[in-house]
Amino acid sequence: MLDKKKWIQIRNSNLKYYEEVELYYKSPSGNIVIYKPEGMKFDDKSLDKKYIDDLYIQPKDKIKCLRAAQKGFSEGLVSNIVKHDTGKVKNELVNLVDETLSQPRSGGLETAPGLIDNIVSGYSSQPDVVKNLARISFTDYTTTIHSINVMALTIGYCFYNHMTEKETKEFGLAALLHDVGKTEVSGEILTASRGLTDLEFMQMKKHPTIGFDILRYTGIDLKVATEGALEHHEKLDGSGYPEGKTKISDCGMLLGIIDCYEAITNDDRPYRSAMQPMAALQILKKDVDKGKYNKKIFETFAYSLTDFDRSGKYKDFF
Ligand SMILES: [Fe+2]
Ligand SMILES: [Fe+2]
């Protein structure tokens, strides 16, 4: 067995970002052997292509690779935004966020603020592209795609609500990282298509606290991000978790609403199909009426989705 702390497997689709680092492969006898030295290009004739789907880097090169991926992503993002190619923008994002979240404690999160910079500037130049990111449905569901959707919806809310660019970036970052604590909950619990046992549910309910700890540990002590991670499952009537708080920060409240909206509109669960936006908003509205969510934040979020102003088509909804 490979020691996962010593070797990180890389994603084939991101190969182009690994030219500047040493790469390794697993020989048939199970030993780790150098595949290419730092700086060697992938089109070098001496490279044996049969190992290209199963290559490894050392943890010390992880940040360097993420930075290269981020740079490549920024360049790709600009051209895909200009071309209005939402699908490609989303694919690039999924790869990068997946890598960033895969090992949050070993430094992956360092590149997240730069990622948000790019998204927010992309949004101001071509709002349709970023807005549509949250509307593309994916057949599989992971914390990565959910996090990207929640981020895109949050940035849409911030723009609709005329928040400053600084606030928008902070909220976007908080949204992207709100479920980072799930990276330490077992995959079996996260993807279970059955009801969870009491013990499993207890594990699941720890993810806000774990997320808060990870952000503090990795030096992301931005208040909206730590509050967002800790409070996005709290409800104003005290029925939420992990603490049953009744005073919740604006970011925690907004992320709670968007988190729930995203979960019911994304076609993610095998045992039920996704709901249409209006039906999802009706469900959330019931919880607003029960005193679980802040009414004003909910209404602003709903308007930010519809593209209609308050005098528009949906005014009777509220
Ligand atoms: Fe969560
Ligand atoms: Fe979430």
Q: What separation in Å is there between the alpha carbon of 269 and the centre of ligand 2?
A: 14
- Rounded Cα distance, 314 and 116, in Å: 31
Could you tell me the strand order of the sheet in which 32-36 lies?
Answer: 8-9, 55-57, 23-26, 32-36
- Per-residue model confidence (pLDDT) at position 65: 81
Q: What separation in Å is there between the alpha carbon of 27 and the centre of ligand 1?
A: 40
CATH architecture of 62-317: Orthogonal Bundle (1.10)
- CATH 1.10.3210.10 in the chain: give the residue spans: 62-317
Asked if residue 109 has pLDDT above 90, the reply is no
Q: What separation in Å is there between the alpha carbon of 55 and the centre of ligand 2?
A: 31
Ligand closest to 211 (CA) is: 1
Q: Give me 11's structure tokens.
A: 């994603």
Asked if residue 138 has pLDDT above 70, the reply is no
Ligand closest to 146 (CA) is: 2
Ligand closest to 148 (CA) is: 2
- Rounded Cα distance, 31 and 34, in Å: 10
The burial of 225, by beta-carbon neighbours within 10 Å (0-12 exposed, 13-18 middle, 19 or more buried), is given as buried
Of 313, 252, 261, 248, the closest CA to residue 287 belongs to: 261
Ligand closest to 260 (CA) is: 2
Mean pLDDT of the chain: 83
pLDDT 10s digits, 226-276: 999 999 999 999 999 999 999 999 999 999 999 999 988 876 555 556 777
- Rounded Cα distance, 17 and 160, in Å: 35
Q: What separation in Å is there between the alpha carbon of 42 and the centre of ligand 2?
A: 38
Highest mean pLDDT among 44-53, 70-79, 265-274: 44-53
CA–CA distances in Å: residue 53 to residues 8, 26, 44, 58, 295: 13, 11, 16, 17, 50
- Per-residue model confidence (pLDDT) at position 188: 84
- Band of residue 173 on the pLDDT scale cut at 50, 70, 90: very high
- Per-residue model confidence (pLDDT) at position 307: 61
Asked if residue 78 has pLDDT above 80, the reply is no
Asked if residue 127 has pLDDT above 70, the reply is yes
CA–CA distances in Å: residue 49 to residues 17, 27, 38, 143, 212: 17, 13, 17, 32, 42
Ligand closest to 234 (CA) is: 1
Pairing state between β 55-57 and 32-36: unpaired
Average pLDDT of span 4-32: 82
CA–CA distances in Å: residue 285 to residues 92, 100, 137, 309: 34, 34, 23, 18
- Per-residue model confidence (pLDDT) at position 317: 53
Average pLDDT of span 6-11: 80
Half-sphere exposure of 23 (CA within 13 A, CB side): 27
Q: What separation in Å is there between the alpha carbon of 166 and the centre of ligand 2?
A: 23
Share of the chain above pLDDT 90, in %: 38
Highest mean pLDDT among 97-111, 119-133, 192-206: 192-206
* DSSP codes, 251-281: HHHHHHHHHHHHHHHS---TTSPPPPHHHHH
- Rounded Cα distance, 216 and 49, in Å: 42
Q: What separation in Å is there between the alpha carbon of 78 and the centre of ligand 1?
A: 30
- Per-residue model confidence (pLDDT) at position 178: 95
Q: What separation in Å is there between the alpha carbon of 77 and the centre of ligand 1?
A: 27
- Per-residue model confidence (pLDDT) at position 225: 94
- Per-residue model confidence (pLDDT) at position 272: 58
Average pLDDT of span 124-152: 75
Dihedral of the alpha carbons of 199, 224, 176, 56, in degrees to the nearest 10 = -80
Average pLDDT of span 37-62: 85
Q: What separation in Å is there between the alpha carbon of 190 and the centre of ligand 2?
A: 11
Its pTM stands at 0.80
- Rounded Cα distance, 201 and 190, in Å: 10
